[in-house]
Chain A
Amino acid sequence: MSSTVLGRYVPYQSFIHRMDSRAKLFAMICLMVTVFLKQVNWAMTFLVGGLFLVFIMMLLLLSHTKITTFLKSLRTLWFMAIFLLIIYILIPRTSDWIAFSIGTFNVYWDSILDAAKILVRLMSMIALMLVFSASTKPLEMSDAFEWYMSPLKYIGFPSHELAMILSIALRFIPTILEDVHRIMNAQASRGVDFKHGGVKAKVRSVISLIVPLFVSAFMRSEELADAMECRGYDPKGKRTKYRIAHFSWRDLVGILVAAAWLGLVIASSVTHFDLFAVFGLEVR
């Protein structure tokens, strides 16, 4: 499914593509944490947030994601931005930094900046997600998932089974999509109208798609289970792995960069560091 927010894999051999998915996930989580750390004042918040956005944009370019993909996924944010702005303006505040007044109602700069801060955070998160999904094959994601979940095996958590389910689900997305098209064509040729009509007609036409789709999916799963069983699959048994990810210098570099940035941001947050004060500037 072409979800614009999650993005899709872009086949390329960039630095980020060649990173191990586990290291990449770790670095991504480090970077995500920095997005949510509080800085001492507005100027610092936007300085750190802005620098980070620039950094992520560079990553996006590096992973060969098209900027238009990013802009497209931002489209849905407009509604959110206006909604946030209204909410933040309506929240009562005790501040003397008034932007403007409508009658007796004061609109504070803090409200506007709060909304802007959330927007920058969201944009950073979306861009990060895009970088990750564009540079990581779905299967590598499920491998990373399995690896991080594997310690839970000892308390009985079925991490291998879940990863197997995930990878089979990913493998069958194109197959099921093909089914969807076939069933839609078959139903359309029998007079089902998928494009027009009111809500009731639409629901009816979707049901005519969903029911055969489920039947076919269940039949597929049963046959697949038989085939896997015949090929000696035993989730509880001893297995080896064909796909082995290797930790390389790239992963080290990636983790170090992310960890260094995380360290810097945490330090500046904890020590209430104000870069502008260092230069003698008075900022809010």
Chain B
Amino acid sequence: MALIEINNLNFAYDEERPTLKNISLSIEAGKYVALIGHNGSGKSTLAKIIAGLFKKVEGDIKIFDLPLQKENLVKIRSQLGIVFQNPDNQFVASSVKEDIAFGLENRAIPHDEMDPIINEVAEEVGMEKFLDAAPENLSGGQKQRVAIAGTLAMKPRLLLLDEATSMLDPRGKKEILNLIRKMRKDNPELTIVSITHDVEEAALADEVIVLNDGEIVLHGTPEEVFAHRDILAQVRLDAPFFDSLVVALKAEGVAVPDDIKDIKALEDYLCR
């Protein structure tokens, strides 16, 4: 079943220059999809449209089989979590546990049920030791993990990461990527759509969608997408380091078998 079904979506902030042109895509439940593109490619706009933050959207959008309309918004949002780019601007409360509780409060979860949920999701994201910490004492990566915990507390079917790692330092980025891997393992039903311009992150996904100037230019598995080096170069994206390395090795005449999928395996193969 397709969790997100978008047909002929058009959107423009400014009539003269459309931000998204004729986008059609469908995302299956339980997939981890990376939406990549350069700045201004419209990828963040697409995330905001899926979250229902824009009113004037042309096209046919169905999320969880519900048309994206005002009367369905509450229902859609209750099953959708979104994590934005800036860790500070989504931290509502003054402590970690209260911030996680914010979404629960909004859904009128009884008070006695909140603490078990908060402890569970805090443990899932590895923030159980910081429940009373104030946001100003947390690193960016920790704040993003709290934001993810806040969405997980609502038991979402869809998690949207809108450049959630782009303002983080390398360590924070790594923390989030590890967390995504862990969430995929713990909860295989959760669909994750990650908007990013980090190709290394995209390489972890099941599917990669490349946006450029508001249009989808590539859509497929990471291997398929990153094989199109010419198109990637046109839209000013690099292939991930691993894929570039394999291509370079092949050009040098080293036969790299197709079943080698990560840098460790490649290292073992080459050293043998």
Contacts and interface: CB of A to CB of B under 8 A. Distances in A.
The answer to whether A and B come from one shared complex is yes
A160 to B, nearest CB: 11
B102 to A, nearest CB: 6
B105 interface: yes
Contacts of A238: 108
Contact of B111 (A223, A230, A233, A244): A244
B92 A171 contact: yes
Interface residues of B, number: 38
Interface in B76-128: 77-78, 80-82, 84, 86, 88-94, 97-98, 101-111, 114
Nearest to B101: A242
Contacts of B250: none
B92 A170 contact: no
A174 B136 contact: yes
B110 A223 contact: no
A284 interface: no
Interface in A30-60: none
A230 B51 contact: yes
A136 B78 CA distance: 35
B141 interface: no
Contacts of B114: 240, 242
Interface string A146-176: 0000000000000000000001101100110
B84 A227 contact: yes
Given A171-B93, A243-B98, A220 B106 contact: no
B53 interface: yes
Given A139-B94, A227-B89, A230-B82, A240 B103 contact: no
26 contacts: A167-B93, A170-B94, A171-B91, A178-B136, A220-B86, A220-B88, A223-B86, A223-B89, A223-B90, A226-B84, A227-B90, A228-B92, A228-B102, A230-B81, A231-B92, A231-B151, A231-B154, A232-B74, A232-B77, A239-B108, A240-B108, A242-B97, A242-B102, A242-B105, A243-B98, A244-B111
B135 interface: yes
Contact of A232 (B53, B78, B98, B136): B78
A228 B103 CA distance: 8
Interface in B142-174: 150-151, 154
B53 A230 contact: yes
Contacts of B91: 171
Contacts of A96: none
A241 interface: yes
A243 B97 CA distance: 10
Contacts of B92: 168, 171, 224, 227-228, 231
Contacts of A178: 136
A234 interface: yes
A237 interface: yes
B89 A240 contact: no
Contacts of A282: none
Contact of B106 (A137, A219, A239, A244): A239
Q: What 8 pairs across the A-B complex have the smallest Cβ distances? A: A242-B101, A227-B90, A223-B89, A232-B106, A174-B136, A231-B103, A230-B82, A238-B108
Nearest to B51: A230
A57 B52 CA distance: 56
B48 interface: yes
A224 B51 CA distance: 14
Contacts of B74: 232, 234
Contacts of B105: 239-242
A233 B92 CA distance: 11
The CB with the most chain B CB atoms within 10 A, among A137, A238, A239, is that of: A239
The CB with the most chain B CB atoms within 10 A, among A229, A231, A240, A242, is that of: A231
A232 B101 CA distance: 12
A138 B97 CA distance: 17
